[in-house]
């Protein structure tokens, strides 16, 4: 029996393009048979806030370009980030949030999207990051 490859994806940004790329990559790897854990740290925890996930902006430092990208994504019927989270979690992926950054950004575990959990740092680094065959950062 072949064992699943393990993948750790870390996202430290709350900018739509970064979160979208992290989740598309994670979902694609999951669907190819990998065991995937996505960890959100630093500002990335904002992407997991159930009241903010649908308000993420694309390239906020370049509003004209960001608006163009958002419009093009809509025209191409690209999945929404909240839908990517839903699919990823319901297909067996694990989404974790940094337990330090959640309160640092004024959130609690109750604010997280359904299925996201606070990471246990010692276990996360040992059992996920160090054990992973592939570590990706966004």
Domain range for residue 68?
6-137
Give residues with Cβ within 8 angstroms of 26, minimum separation 6: 7, 9, 36, 38, 88, 93
- The residue count for the chain: 138
**Would 1 be classed as within a structural domain?**
no
**Mean pLDDT within 94-105:** 98
Residue 37 lies in a domain: yes
| Number of independent structural domains in the chain | 1
Do the domain assignments include residue 35?
A: yes
Q: Which of 39, 24, 23 is nearest to 121 (CA)?
A: 39
Q: What's the whole-number mean pLDDT along residues 66-84?
A: 91
Query: Which pLDDT tens digit goes with each residue over 10-26?
Result: 999 999 999 999 999 99
Question: What does pLDDT average to over the chain?
Answer: 95
Residue 2 has pLDDT above 80, yes or no: no
Residue of higher predicted confidence among 130 and 66: 130
Q: Give domain status of residue 117, yes or no.
A: yes
pLDDT over threshold 70, residue 1 = no
pLDDT at 59: 83
Confidence (pLDDT) at 70: 86
Q: Which domain CATH number covers 125?
A: 3.40.1260.10
């Amino acid at each position: 029996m072949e064992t699943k490859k393990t993948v750790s994806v870390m996202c430290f940004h709350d900018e739509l393009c970064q979160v979208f790329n992290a989740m598309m990559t994670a979902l694609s790897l999951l669907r190819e048979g990998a065991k995937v854990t996505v960890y959100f740290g630093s500002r990335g925890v904002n992407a997991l806030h159930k009241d903010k996930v649908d308000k993420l902006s694309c390239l906020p430092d370049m509003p004209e370009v960001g608006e163009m990208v958002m419009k093009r994504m809509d025209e191409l019927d690209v999945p929404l980030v909240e839908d990517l989270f839903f699919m990823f979690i319901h297909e067996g992926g694990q989404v974790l949030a940094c337990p330090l950054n959640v309160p640092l950004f004024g959130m609690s575990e109750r604010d997280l999207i359904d299925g996201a959990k606070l990471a246990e740092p010692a276990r996360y680094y040992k059992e996920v990051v160090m054990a992973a065959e592939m570590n990706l950062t966004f």
